[in-house]
Structure 1
Amino acid sequence: MSTFTESGISFHFGERWECIKFDEDNAYKRVSNNLKHTKGVDFIGIYNRHLVIIEVKNFANHTSDVATKKKLKYEGEKLMTEIAEKVRDSLACMSAAARFSTNNPAFWKSINQLILDNSIKVKVVAWIEFDEGNRETKHAQIHVWRDTLKRKLKWLHATDVFINNINNPPPLKDCVATAIK
């Protein structure tokens, strides 16, 4: 079992996961240190023979901030673009890691095999915490963001896109997230 903390949230990945904190991994850093503006997602993992890419954004208690409002307006266009760009850059880093990584080469080879296998969907999870008291409004916002992100990731073809938060856990088993108090 692996446990990671990101943006004030603790993520517990069970025994069936092989998961890393991608934006802290040497494979990502090797690319990002040499190519400015490279962005990486928070976690990548293999679960049940699927590549799972997870990006975490925690706006809880900051949803009314000017910068956050700007990022979330217009169907979350700016935020979903940022997440899609992180997915794009991360996929490039994963491919590079399969070529040069001496740190866990079997993991990177498995990741690349999953990327290249058209019969297996890549799962992208945008884990977004935000303040919204009205359940229906929050649910509607999540659907709009999902559709926007799905449109931006259309180039990836066989992709499942999920927008989740602590109160709306992902459809992936063996992953538990809790807010750190």
Structure 2
Amino acid sequence: MTRLSFFLPLCLVTLSACAGPIETRIETRASASGSVPKQFMFSENLEQNNQTYSLAKSLVSQKLLNEGYSEAKVASLLVQIALADRPASIAISTGEQPGKTLVGPKKNKPLQSCLDQEHRFSVDIFNQIDGSIFYSGKAAEYHCKGTMDTSLPHLVDAALSDLGANNGLEPKSSTRSRTGVE
């Protein structure tokens, strides 16, 4: 019994290293142009024709439809989406400004049993009439065991959270927490 009372807490701590709150990091920019018709179309990228990309496209489309937009073959709003699933232990820097890090490497939590991946989703909506940015949203999460497909609904919702706002294209950063498979 003494052995069990020693190993049980140790096992629970080890298992909880990949459980707990998931933090979604969000950055949005919104410019509400009142004269733009609420019709959208997606840019076509042949290299992105896969199941995960199709899921992301479907989730974005559904969110826009719920917000009163309609999809058309030719539309004034062009929607571009991008996905990334990368090891979180590497940093991303920009070539435009040497030495500037966009995303630093993430360190593992104590007792973490696997390496983190970063799931990142971005959506950019352009006004094709004048070439301006209508909306831009980015959302990212770290996951040890979660998959991109299970993260996508949360990432899409977060990235499009300020759609319809007008903050003059000034970036707005926020975070959300949720439970799930980390």
Is this a same-fold pair by TM over 0.5? no
* Structure showing greater relative contact order (alpha-carbon pairs closer than 8 Å, 6 or more residues apart): 2
Q: Which has the higher helix share?
A: 1
